[in-house]
């Protein structure tokens, strides 16, 4: 059926263009250092393109600003050492 846009197709498309890998790299960087280093963004932009890298960064920043529980919990454990 032409025109059907399924969740599996979306996931497959995201895997092909590197969006998930880009998001994962950015999230790991934020969890590890509390920010995203310029060098990582340069690498991601070179590998996946400006659009994919920038969109992933914007999505993650939006999740943080909206209070995503998973991201907030990870960032809080880093900021407050036990």
Q: Is 63 part of any domain?
A: yes
Q: Is 4 part of any domain?
A: no
pLDDT digits (tens, 9 = 90+) for 25-58: 999 998 899 899 999 999 999 999 999 999 999 9
Q: Is 27 part of any domain?
A: yes
0.75 surpassed by pTM: no
* 66: containing domain: 9-77
Q: Is 52 part of any domain?
A: yes
Cβ proximity of 27 and 71 under 8 Å = yes
Please give the span between the terminal C-alpha atoms of the chain, in angstroms, as a whole number: 55
Q: Is 82 part of any domain?
A: no
Q: Is 3 part of any domain?
A: no
Residue 76 CA to residue 38 CA, distance in Å, equals 22
Number of domains within the chain:
1
Q: Is 1 part of any domain?
A: no
């Amino acid at each position: 059926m032409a025109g059907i846009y399924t969740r599996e197709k979306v996931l497959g498309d995201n895997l092909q263009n590197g969006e998930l890998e880009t998001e994962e790299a950015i999230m790991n960087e934020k969890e590890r250092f509390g920010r995203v280093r310029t060098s990582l963004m340069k690498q991601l932009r070179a590998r996946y393109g400006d659009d994919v890298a920038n969109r992933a960064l914007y999505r993650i920043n939006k999740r943080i600003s909206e209070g995503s529980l998973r991201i907030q919990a990870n960032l809080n454990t880093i900021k407050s050492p036990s």
